[in-house]
Amino acid sequence: MAHKMAIIGYGGMAGYHHDMIQNNFPQLEISGVYDVREESVQKAQERGLKAFSAPDQIYADKEIELVLIATPNDVHKSYAIGCLQAGKHVICEKPVTLNAGELEDIIAAVKNSGKFFTVHQNRRWDRDFLMVKKIFEDKLLQDPYMIESRVQGSRQSLHGWRGWKQNGGGMVLDWGVHLMDQMLNFIPHKVVSVNAVLHKVFSPEVDDNFTASFRFENGLHYIVNIAMNCLIIQPRWHVSAYDGTAVIENWDCKGKIVKLTDAKTMEWAEDIVYTAAGPTRSMAPRPKETTQELELPHIEVTGRDYYQNIVDSLDGKTTPLVKPEQALRVMKLIDLVFLSDKEKHGIACNI
Ligand SMILES: NC(=O)c1ccc[n+]([C@@H]2O[C@H](COP(=O)([O-])OP(=O)(O)OC[C@H]3O[C@@H](n4cnc5c(N)ncnc54)[C@H](O)[C@@H]3O)[C@@H](O)[C@H]2O)c1
């Protein structure tokens, strides 16, 4: 028998979840949705879903095992606690909450519930991210010391509630949470400082462009940059390591690794070299034979891993891969991103 679930908040992202479940997971059955907006309720009904008239109806329905929360960010906490107290497993959209304190309240509710609480950090399964993770974990480059992770666009507007502070809008909580979750998912060290600059380039209330810089205890420097106002896009990933550099240009995963053939070959730069910008030794162009170009690692993705893990968890075979404690680490960093910007300096930490 299929596991019954309900959805709270049937907007753009809930439509994605609905498609994913309908097309791939007969083990899940969506019993119905609750939404405060008439248009969203109608959309759900047109797709054959029942509309609950209050969240309490979902809480009271003993057959519903799992609830997906896909509302704007400011109401994630209250629905999550309501669902857990009613004995439901919960998938919460990202960002899990507006800050670490709210998530701590949810974690307290999880402890008394015997149910799972997980966050839809689906970008842990992105191909570009898994390539960088593999480069790092398989040591395809030696001793990476700087990783730049950027998502840039030029839409110059934040869609709907994303522009409003009260709903938890802004890019730190939107794309930032994905990139920081990815970061903590493969760097096995603690973050010891956070320095961030947020901009409201066109949005009056919330950040629409930001750069956050994280220093890890092993010295690794990791930069997260989101731009909504960028007309010349930088690479999605740039990895600097002792013996080479990797670049992934975009979500199509075009890019390369360039490695030294012999890191000690320095004879070519003993004399001053004349470049278009004048004489230099330090920035002398490297002769081609001292480097080799490698392909990026091969990664296959299905797009179904997140929900496969949910189904396996409901079947008791495993537990959700995205853990509340992992989300809490990310939210603690997000709190410091906002604090660093407010105080206009870096913040030491041990996260
Ligand atoms: N994981 C991802 O890749 C990803 C992508 C997009 C959005 N999201 C997240 O999904 C969530 C929803 O985003 P969206 O783009 O679908 O927004 P949306 O505006 O398209 O949909 C939100 C829905 O929630 C409803 N809603 C608003 N307040 C409510 C309330 N108090 N109770 C019940 N329903 C309410 C709205 O009427 C709307 O139908 C957000 O947390 C967002 O950050 C995640």
- Give the pLDDT mean for 43-72: 98
Calculate what percentage of the chain has a pLDDT beyond 90: 93
Identify the CA nearest to 339 among candidates 223, 148, 197.
197
- 17, 19, 93: which to mutate for ligand 1, most atoms within 8 A of CB? 93
Rounded Cα distance, 235 and 223, in Å: 13
- Give the pLDDT mean for 25-49: 98
- Give the pLDDT mean for 44-71: 98
- Give the pLDDT mean for 241-254: 97
pTM, 2 dp? 0.97
**Weakest mean pLDDT among 149-163, 193-207, 272-286, 331-345:** 272-286
Amino acid 264: pLDDT:
59
Q: Could you tell me if 116 and 160 lie in one domain?
A: no
- Give the pLDDT mean for 83-108: 98
What value does the mean pLDDT of the chain take?
A: 96
- 7, 8, 10, 13: which to mutate for ligand 1, most atoms within 8 A of CB? 13
Measured at the CA of 105, the angle between CA 99 and CA 111, to 5 degrees, comes to: 135
44 CA from centroid of ligand 1 (Å)? 14
Q: Could you tell me if 55 and 171 lie in one domain?
A: no
Amino acid 260: pLDDT:
92
Does the pLDDT of residue 127 top 60, yes or no?
A: yes
Residues 148/142, Cβ–Cβ less than 8 Å:
no
**Which residues lie closer than 8 Å to 73 by C-beta, 6 or more apart?**
93, 95, 97, 98, 167, 168, 169, 173
Amino acid 252: pLDDT:
96
- CATH code, 217: 3.30.360.10
Nearest atom within ligand 1 for CA of residue 79: 32
320 CA from centroid of ligand 1 (Å)? 22
Q: What is the pLDDT of residues 204-216, one digit of tens each?
A: 999 999 999 999 9
Amino acid 112: pLDDT:
85
Q: What is the pLDDT of residues 275-300, one digit of tens each?
A: 999 999 888 888 888 899 999 999 99
Amino acid 287: pLDDT:
84
Identify the CA nearest to 17 among candidates 53, 55, 44.
44
Q: What is the pLDDT of residues 17-26, one digit of tens each?
A: 999 999 999 9
Nearest atom within ligand 1 for CA of residue 15: 16
37 domain residue, yes or no: yes
Q: Could you tell me if 210 and 344 lie in one domain?
A: yes
Measured at the CA of 110, the angle between CA 22 and CA 118, to 5 degrees, comes to: 35
Q: Could you tell me if 101 and 149 lie in one domain?
A: no
Q: Could you tell me if 338 and 194 lie in one domain?
A: yes
Number of folded domains that form the chain: 2
Amino acid 265: pLDDT:
62
Does the pLDDT of residue 171 top 70, yes or no?
A: yes
Does the pLDDT of residue 90 top 60, yes or no?
A: yes
39 CA from centroid of ligand 1 (Å)? 13
**Domain housing 99:** 3-120
**Which residues lie closer than 8 Å to 179 by C-beta, 6 or more apart?**
123, 149, 151, 224, 226
Does the pLDDT of residue 340 top 80, yes or no?
A: yes
Amino acid 343: pLDDT:
98
183 CA from centroid of ligand 1 (Å)? 24
Rounded Cα distance, 283 and 299, in Å: 34
Q: Could you tell me if 72 and 204 lie in one domain?
A: no
69 CA from centroid of ligand 1 (Å)? 8
Nearest atom within ligand 1 for CA of residue 43: 39
- For every residue of 32-72, DSSP letters joined together read EEE-SSHHHHHHHHHTT-EE-SSHHHHHH-TTEEEEEE-S-
Q: Which residue has the tokens 């091969």?
A: 298
Q: Are strands 3-8 and 144-152 parallel, antiparallel or unpaired?
A: unpaired
Amino acid 286: pLDDT:
86
Rounded Cα distance, 67 and 343, in Å: 38
- Give the pLDDT mean for 119-142: 98
313 domain residue, yes or no: no
Amino acid 245: pLDDT:
98
135 CA from centroid of ligand 1 (Å)? 34
Helix (H, G, I), strand (E, B) or coil at 319: coil
DSSP designation for 348: E
Q: Could you tell me if 142 and 113 lie in one domain?
A: no
317 CA from centroid of ligand 1 (Å)? 30
38 CA from centroid of ligand 1 (Å)? 14
Helix axes 305-314, 12-24, angle to 10 degrees: 70
User: Closest Cα to atom 19, ligand 1: which residue?
Assistant: 11
Q: Could you tell me if 211 and 339 lie in one domain?
A: yes
User: Closest Cα to atom 6, ligand 1: which residue?
Assistant: 13
Q: Which of 99, 120, 141 is the last residue of a domain?
A: 120
Residues 331/171, Cβ–Cβ less than 8 Å:
no
Q: Could you tell me if 84 and 136 lie in one domain?
A: no
17 CA from centroid of ligand 1 (Å)? 11
User: Closest Cα to atom 18, ligand 1: which residue?
Assistant: 11
- Give the pLDDT mean for 156-172: 97
- CB atoms inside a 10 Å sphere around CB 56: 12
Q: Could you tell me if 45 and 81 lie in one domain?
A: yes
Rounded Cα distance, 169 and 210, in Å: 13
Confidence of residue 266 (pLDDT cuts 50, 70, 90): low
User: Closest Cα to atom 30, ligand 1: which residue?
Assistant: 36
Rounded Cα distance, 149 and 234, in Å: 10
- 10, 17, 46, 71: which to mutate for ligand 1, most atoms within 8 A of CB? 71
Helix (H, G, I), strand (E, B) or coil at 7: strand
Q: Could you tell me if 248 and 161 lie in one domain?
A: yes
271 CA from centroid of ligand 1 (Å)? 61
Rounded Cα distance, 115 and 93, in Å: 17
Residues 210/198, Cβ–Cβ less than 8 Å:
yes
User: Closest Cα to atom 27, ligand 1: which residue?
Assistant: 71
For the stretch 106-145, what's the b/e string if a residue is b when 16 or more beta carbons lie within 10 angstroms of its beta carbon?
bbebbeebebbbbbbbbbbbbbbbbbbbbbbeeebbeebe
The pocket around ligand 1, CB under 6 angstroms, is made up of 8-14, 34-37, 40, 70-73, 75, 93-94, 120, 122, 160-161, 174
**CA of 245: how far to CAs of 147, 230, 255, 285, in Å?**
10, 24, 11, 15
Max CA-CA distance within the chain?
79
